[in-house]
Amino acid sequence: MKPSSTGVSSAVSSVIFMGSPSFAVPSLLAIAQAGIAIERVYTQPPRPAGRGQRLTPTAVHQAALTLKIPESNIITPERLRGAALEELLAHPCQTLVVVAYGLLLPKALVEAKTCLNLHPSALPRWRGAAPLQHTLLAGDTSTEICIMRLDEGMDTGPVYSRTPLPVPADMSYGPLHDLSSVIGAEALVKVLRQLPTQPATPQTGVATLAPKLGAAERALDFTKPAAQLHNQIRALAPAPGATWALPPSLGSEVLKVLKSEVSGTTSTAPAGTVLGVQGPAVQVACGDGTVLNLLGLQRPGRDKGPAAEIWHNFV
C-alpha cells in the first residue's frame, strides 16, 4: 500500500502491522488514512467460527483486504519461529506496530526492530492480556491508553505517550473496548508522526497483572458486596457475561447477567435472596447488607431482555 498524497509528514514512512481482533482494526485504518505505507500485515490464522464452524479470517485480516492490501502481504503464521521469524527479521521495514496480535514477539525481534504497542491501561498497572476487564473488576475510575515500545518483558517497555481516559461507574467492557480502540488509534498515529525524536519514558510505580479471565470469573457469588458484583458484571458484558445459577427450586437454570446497578437500599436477608422486583430491576441481597439491582438478563439460547421481564418466567 503506497503513502497517500495528502501532504502528511511522517518520520515513519512505512510499518509492518501486527494485530488480530476488532480492537486492532481502528489502528490499522488510522495508519492507512495517515498516509503511512503498510508493508505487511501479520495476523492470527483463520479459525472456525459461528454455528457452521467455518474458517473465518480475523477482523484485521478482513480490514486489510478492504484496504486493498494484497493477500501475499497478509501473513498468518501459527508461531513467530523458524522461517517465519527469519523472514520478518530480514524485511527492511524497521517499525512494527503491534495491537492485540495474540502472539508473543521473540526477544530477537524486539531487539532488532522498533516495536510499538498500544496497551489500554495506566502502565505499569494492569500488564497482561485483559487490562480493560481488570480495570473494571477493580472499580478503577480512570485509566490511560499507552503507546509503548515492546521489550522482552510482558508490557514492561518504556512509554511514548499516555492518554487519560475516565471510566464512569456504569460503563461496561463493550463501550470501554470500543472507545479505547479509537483513542488508541489516534495516539498511535501521533507517535508514529513524531518518531524517532519522540522520547520514551521508563515505567515507574507498582506493577499489577491482568491475566486473561476464565470461566471461574464468570459466576456471581452474592456473599460479596454489591459494588464488587456490579464491577464483575460490567467487566464481562456483553461477552462472555457474568452468570447467575438459579436454585433447583427454580429449575437450576444459569442466566447471564449483562447489566446491573448498586441499589441505595440495604437488607438483612441472607445473601442471594431475591428481594423482589422494582421497576425493570430484580433486587438481590448481597454481602455486607448491600443490595444489587439486576437490570439485564439472558436465558440460555434466548434473547436478552429486562431483568424483571425475564424473572417472571420463574415465579
State the Cα–Cα distance between residues 229 and 133, nearest whole angstrom.
13
pLDDT at 40: 98
> What are the sequence ranges of the domains in the chain?
14-194, 215-311
| DSSP 8-state assignment for residue 103 | S
**CA-based nearest residue to 36, from 65, 67, 58:** 67
Q: In this structure, which amino acid lies at residue 227?
A: A
Whether residue 240 contacts residue 209, with contact meaning beta carbons closer than 8 Å, is answered with no
State the Cα–Cα distance between residues 197 and 183, nearest whole angstrom.
22
Cell numbers representing residue 19 in the block: 494485530
CATH homologous superfamily, domain 215-311: Formyl transferase, C-terminal domain (3.10.25.10)
pLDDT at 2: 41
Q: Give the CATH number of domain 14-194.
A: 3.40.50.170
- Please list the residues that pair with 145 across neighbouring strands: 163
The count of other CB atoms within 10 Å of the CB of residue 253 is: 13
Q: What angle do CA 223, 227, 229 make, to 5 degrees?
A: 55
State the Cα–Cα distance between residues 230 and 36, nearest whole angstrom.
42
Q: What angle do CA 269, 274, 279 make, to 5 degrees?
A: 120
pLDDT at 51: 79
- Give the tens place of pLDDT for each residue, 1-24: 344 333 344 478 999 999 999 999
Q: Point out the residues of the chain with pLDDT beneath 70.
A: 1-10
Q: Map residue 162 onto helix, strand or coil.
A: strand
State the Cα–Cα distance between residues 161 and 235, nearest whole angstrom.
25
pTM over 0.75: yes
**CA-based nearest residue to 98, from 144, 157, 47, 48:** 157
Whether residue 282 contacts residue 309, with contact meaning beta carbons closer than 8 Å, is answered with no
